[in-house]
Structure 1
């Protein structure tokens, strides 16, 4: 065996087994964060219009600070939240953007094309609509208020509406939100910074260079990023650039990667040593190795993200959503082109921009939607994208100086968000009613595509049998054996389709086995690899699967590259099938569909033949 083969066979490539953003735990976290944001918004509005309203404004204007010798620094509570704490929010946004473009959804350019272009249109069209109402004057400077969607409220609204099959549209909108955030960050940096001061700006650039070099340190990365981040915040503040962008700059300098073979192997060895001889030194070494096998980007999202979602964003809503809603203020606002520009930009501009761009991309063939996602789903999500809150209110504070016009803008943002939610709810309800969905799991969600699916038999056969299974499931192995008998019985009249549904809790190696089969499929060896995996269900370590790849005639160097370096190619093939299975509420393997209808009886050859015979045209 060549050296590449030997090295690869000793390891085991790792990737997150599923997109974490789609898990139930993540959805629960998102919904809780959105609920806290909504509660803080309501509290702010009620407080600002209560008999104790003066205490609200007094709190926002209260100054806090610190001194050191003759030097003293202070900020109001509102600016402390908006300029200092919100740097952590932009830090998390930067981490997510970096991850998506490096190892996430946006690494697949064909898959990312539609949401990227739709997001760009969702940035430009709302600004154009806003400027149609406010073509000149001080109001025109506030065009940035309408460009951004609030991701927390967006996913919360989707959870409340509960459209049929929401996972695909949720993933589309989250991908779109990444590009939306990039556009908003660029707008803040370029158009909403004060007059630049050269000296602090040069120092800021020098700190950025040092930040990039931090990854070369052997350790102490965290403290280094923290100290340099604070220093960068100060220099940007002094340079006249909005200091919250320090959070973005630090995030972009932090490396992100999928877990690699050698660090994980080292962690396993140290855990084994600790198990054999428990002591504090081995415990520290094992803990450090486990931590270092995960990128700093992912560790920080896990540790800092909840603080941002559950503390900083609710505080931001509390200090920014307070707006006077007396009759005079409301009457003035709804006569103001500023208010109507914001409402129209967010509600109409977002909907037209995102939906129109998606339609155009599909019509021209420049992009395709993910399996199971339709234009009507995108339209409902586009309507919900008009919920602009966090960054919208953030830009209100820095783009508009007069308190009265700030109130008009805030009323516009809040009104637009409510209208966008109502429009999204209506679109999802109407489209679901006009094209009633089938009961979950009773019919095949995604039609068979011979160009994409793994098939055996005549693509034009009158009978179609689809199996969702995994390679570690002994029942799938037996069912597949029975299917050979069924195929022999029907011959050219039957098309058999395999789709992945790795049940990782019961079968911990099934997901990796599915990835290995897809890597083999790239070399035209899917069915041969599947046969090997089924024949060796008790031996599905990566070292074993490399041996099977060699046995079926794969180029092992290419196989190694596909499961490690270019792993998103095989990852998406597996997760697309698994996502469809989850959408259909499948919970066991094998699950079979006969001519598009779920088979709920026994799967022995005789039973399958009887069911298929009844389905003959």
Structure 2
């Protein structure tokens, strides 16, 4: 695809259309001194919450083990405490342990369901082409560990506990990646999260189909009615929050009475919660109300602005934001405290070492997960099925496959469902903890060694993704002698000034140079940078990327949602299609892919140029870029 490049507001080259953007010179700088570049400091995904959540989970696990070994009687007494909830004849009776596993954990599974729903609607699993590799890897990561466990535990009487080894603990996986992962782990993290979503779906389906003893028809019918009502709640004009809450409690009670494990009610409810990308019109309406409140501060305008801002974000994402800290910092550590109390004595360890159940779990999680995931991806790569993102090498997949052997939350959850004997349960818990520790240690060692073997001088030196004329925004002939790739941000003033240098390069080299633009939005410095990049991609779908790019650079101060719509209208775009494309997962993924490329190459500033596939270091004035192009030609 050869698009017409962005011309300058003042001077337009007859062949390429790029303009030299003129600005008054800074008297404190020499004429040839390029401006400093702004830092790209924001990672694609925040790691802080994942890291802290994993540490709290680890602390809770250690406390549970120490507590159980100091006084197992008190541990059992506390978690065996009976709770009675209800009035008169309508009462529910739980042990504290059962309340955590059946009620509190329903919130955890609810958040898992929200994430599943989001990924299929607007995330990594929206299209088969994007989801193929993590989906196939996840299925293999479910099947191979189960087969390994059954082969080893055959004859032990606990063959049915193969579900213990199928699931990776998503919270521990992401937290461990933040703690011991490789440099620039963004794309690996996105891949592992997508795979973990499919893994969770498989584990939840197995809990429902395999570890549910009996079903009661009437409660299931009530649950179905309640779920139907939850689906239609989205159409209420007001009171959706209370309606969701009341109906969710009814559905959970119906699941509890039906024989289906009540935590699955959380998943079923979450899958019916609507999710969508914010509408630009809704965002603009919220901004208008906020400006009205700023001009006339009063409680009525404050409520209107707050409600409008809240409603512009889907309830799925609002609930994820609200519950994610509760789940990470309270629910999962509480679950670990209630379930990880493993007695560890010499006799128990000897029994565990001799038990095929323990070794079935260890081999299933540590070896089975690695062989299933890495083996599936190796085969897909060998037969050229699907594709891995730039920077996502087999080496990194190997490390991620080792981390996937951390099977904690759902593994311990299934231990209670699949095994009745308390002594065997204890052996199984020893196996889960041992396997998780081994997987974590192996992954940490692997990532440290692989990072050391990768020369730091080569990190980010070469362009990780070749130019693709069907995907990239390419300006110039495909057979040009020189290729100049820029990672930039439409709100960055230095990228604006770089367009002048690029136009000079094209004027000097003519058809000998090919210019490629890729996105690296500085969201931490420029709040509208991602939106501007997505708007340009939406315009590209109507063949107007170059024109929209010129418009964005010509007026960097006005890049609000209304400005994007105004630009689309001025350029003669179909505004309804433009708005629809702005809300599409494909457009968001296109920008994210470029940003993940930038992270994979450790790009820490924009604009960053690659000349003939080699990273340009130093000034980015036209003369410097031309010298670099001529010096690095392959």
- Same fold by TM-score, threshold 0.5 exceeded? yes
The CA deviation at 1:54 is 2.0
Give the aligned partner of residue 34 of structure 1: 54
**Deviations for 1:234-262, whole angstroms, at most 9, x for unmatched residues?**
22222111111111122122111111234
> Which one has the bigger helix percentage?
1
CA distance in 1, matches of 2:451, 2:47: 22
**Deviations for 1:87-131, whole angstroms, at most 9, x for unmatched residues?**
111111111111111111111321111001111111111111111
Q: Give the secondary-structure state (helix, strand or coil) at the position aligned to 1:75.
A: strand
Q: Give the secondary-structure state (helix, strand or coil) at the position aligned to 1:105.
A: coil
> Aligned in 2, Cα 1:543/1:199: closer, same or farther, shift over 3 Å?
closer
The CA deviation at 1:517 is 2.4
Give the aligned partner of residue 95 of structure 1: 114
CA distance in 2, matches of 1:571, 1:73: 46
The CA deviation at 1:213 is 2.2
Contact kept? 1:123, 1:147, Cα under 8 Å: yes
The CA deviation at 1:437 is 4.8
Q: Please tell me whether residue 232 in structure 1 is matched to residue 251 in structure 2.
A: yes
| Higher mean C-alpha displacement, 445-454 vs 170-179 | 445-454
CA distance in 2, matches of 1:262, 1:602: 41
Q: Give the secondary-structure state (helix, strand or coil) at the position aligned to 1:464.
A: strand
Of residues 444, 456, 470, the one that matches 2:489 is 470
**Deviations for 1:335-392, whole angstroms, at most 9, x for unmatched residues?**
1111111111111111111112212233333311122211221121011101000000
Q: Please tell me whether residue 417 in structure 1 is matched to residue 436 in structure 2.
A: yes
The CA deviation at 1:416 is 0.8
Q: How many residues align?
A: 593
Q: Please tell me whether residue 599 in structure 1 is matched to residue 616 in structure 2.
A: yes
Give the aligned partner of residue 16 of structure 1: none
> Aligned in 2, Cα 1:203/1:527: closer, same or farther, shift over 3 Å?
closer
Contact kept? 2:460, 2:603, Cα under 8 Å: yes
> Aligned in 2, Cα 1:374/1:23: closer, same or farther, shift over 3 Å?
closer
CA distance in 2, matches of 1:414, 1:454: 49
> Aligned in 2, Cα 1:506/1:165: closer, same or farther, shift over 3 Å?
closer
Give the aligned partner of residue 68 of structure 2: 48
CA distance in 2, matches of 1:331, 1:265: 66
| Higher mean C-alpha displacement, 380-389 vs 240-249 | 240-249
> Aligned in 2, Cα 1:278/1:42: closer, same or farther, shift over 3 Å?
same
Give the aligned partner of residue 267 of structure 1: 286
Of residues 413, 437, 455, the one that matches 1:436 is 455
Q: Give the secondary-structure state (helix, strand or coil) at the position aligned to 2:516.
A: strand
CA distance in 2, matches of 1:538, 1:595: 33
Contact kept? 1:236, 1:243, Cα under 8 Å: yes
Matches within 5 A, 1:7-406: 23=44, 26-50=46-70, 52-135=71-154, 138-406=157-425
Q: Give the secondary-structure state (helix, strand or coil) at the position aligned to 1:253.
A: coil
> Aligned in 2, Cα 1:235/1:410: closer, same or farther, shift over 3 Å?
same
> Aligned in 2, Cα 1:406/1:616: closer, same or farther, shift over 3 Å?
closer
Give the aligned partner of residue 13 of structure 1: none
Contact kept? 2:498, 2:621, Cα under 8 Å: yes
The CA deviation at 1:546 is 4.6
The CA deviation at 1:467 is 1.4
Q: Give the secondary-structure state (helix, strand or coil) at the position aligned to 2:125.
A: helix
CA distance in 1, matches of 2:354, 2:240: 53
Unaligned segments of structure 1, at least 5 residues: 1-20
Contact kept? 2:111, 2:324, Cα under 8 Å: yes
CA distance in 1, matches of 2:558, 2:305: 26
The CA deviation at 1:328 is 1.1
Contact kept? 2:255, 2:262, Cα under 8 Å: yes
CA distance in 2, matches of 1:304, 1:541: 30
Q: Give the secondary-structure state (helix, strand or coil) at the position aligned to 2:445.
A: helix
> Aligned in 2, Cα 1:95/1:202: closer, same or farther, shift over 3 Å?
same
> Aligned in 2, Cα 1:204/1:184: closer, same or farther, shift over 3 Å?
same
Bigger relative contact order, structure 1 or 2 (CA pairs below 8 A, ≥6 apart): 2
> Aligned in 2, Cα 1:538/1:143: closer, same or farther, shift over 3 Å?
same
> Aligned in 2, Cα 1:314/1:188: closer, same or farther, shift over 3 Å?
same
Contact kept? 2:146, 2:165, Cα under 8 Å: yes
**Deviations for 1:164-185, whole angstroms, at most 9, x for unmatched residues?**
3311111100111111111111
> Aligned in 2, Cα 1:292/1:136: closer, same or farther, shift over 3 Å?
farther
**Deviations for 1:118-159, whole angstroms, at most 9, x for unmatched residues?**
111111111111111234664111111011001111112212
> Aligned in 2, Cα 1:141/1:83: closer, same or farther, shift over 3 Å?
same
Of residues 536, 541, 545, the one that matches 1:522 is 541
The CA deviation at 1:70 is 4.1
The CA deviation at 1:306 is 1.1
**Deviations for 1:540-581, whole angstroms, at most 9, x for unmatched residues?**
4445445555666655554444223xx222222222222232
The CA deviation at 1:76 is 1.1
Give the aligned partner of residue 32 of structure 2: none
| Higher mean C-alpha displacement, 29-38 vs 454-463 | 454-463
Contact kept? 1:355, 1:382, Cα under 8 Å: yes
Q: Give the secondary-structure state (helix, strand or coil) at the position aligned to 1:106.
A: coil
CA distance in 2, matches of 1:122, 1:362: 16
Q: Give the secondary-structure state (helix, strand or coil) at the position aligned to 2:92.
A: strand
CA distance in 1, matches of 2:596, 2:343: 46
Give the aligned partner of residue 16 of structure 2: none
CA distance in 2, matches of 1:462, 1:262: 45
**Deviations for 1:317-338, whole angstroms, at most 9, x for unmatched residues?**
0111111111111111111111
| Higher mean C-alpha displacement, 279-288 vs 529-538 | 529-538
Q: Please tell me whether residue 491 in structure 1 is matched to residue 510 in structure 2.
A: yes
CA distance in 1, matches of 2:314, 2:146: 37
Q: TM-score scaled by structure 1?
A: 0.90
Matches within 5 A, 1:517-556: 517-546=536-565, 548-549=567-568
CA distance in 2, matches of 1:563, 1:199: 45
Contact kept? 1:471, 1:514, Cα under 8 Å: yes
Contact kept? 1:463, 1:615, Cα under 8 Å: no
> Aligned in 2, Cα 1:279/1:560: closer, same or farther, shift over 3 Å?
closer
Give the aligned CA root-mean-square deviation in angstroms.
2.4
Q: Please tell me whether residue 572 in structure 1 is matched to residue 589 in structure 2.
A: yes
Q: Give the secondary-structure state (helix, strand or coil) at the position aligned to 1:455.
A: strand
Contact kept? 1:111, 1:370, Cα under 8 Å: no
> Aligned in 2, Cα 1:108/1:220: closer, same or farther, shift over 3 Å?
same
